[in-house]
Amino acid sequence: MLKEWLDKGYDIGVMSEAGCPGIADPGSVIVQKAHEHNTEIIPLTGPNSIVLALMASGLNGQSFAFNGYLPLKEPGRSKCIKDLEQLSAKEKQTQVFIETPYRNNALLDELLKHCRDNTLLSIAQNITGKDAYIKTLPVSKWKKHKPELAKQPAVFLLLAQ
| Residue range 91-95: mean pLDDT, rounded | 98
Helices and strands: H and E segment counts in the chain: 6, 5
Residue 37: pLDDT over 90: no
pLDDT at 117: 98
CATH node for 49-159: 3.30.950.10
pLDDT at 154: 93
Residue 149: what are its φ and ψ, rounded to 5°? -80, 135
Predicted TM-score (pTM) of the model is 0.84
| Residue range 113-140: mean pLDDT, rounded | 95
Torsion sign across C-alpha atoms 156, 68, 51, 158: positive
Contact status, residue 19 vs residue 25, Cβ threshold 8 Å: yes
Q: Which helix (H) or strand (E) holds 65?
A: strand 64-69
pLDDT at 27: 77
* CA distance linking residue 96 with residue 157, whole number of Å: 4
* CA distance linking residue 129 with residue 131, whole number of Å: 5
Residue 18: pLDDT over 60: no
**79: Cβ–Cβ under 8 A, 6 or more apart, which residues?**
71
pLDDT at 15: 75
Higher-confidence residue of 16 and 141: namely 141
Tell me: the pLDDT tens digits for 50-90? 999 999 999 999 999 999 999 999 999 999 999 999 999 99
* Confidence bin at 136 (pLDDT 50/70/90): very high
Domain ranges (residues) in the chain: 2-36, 49-159
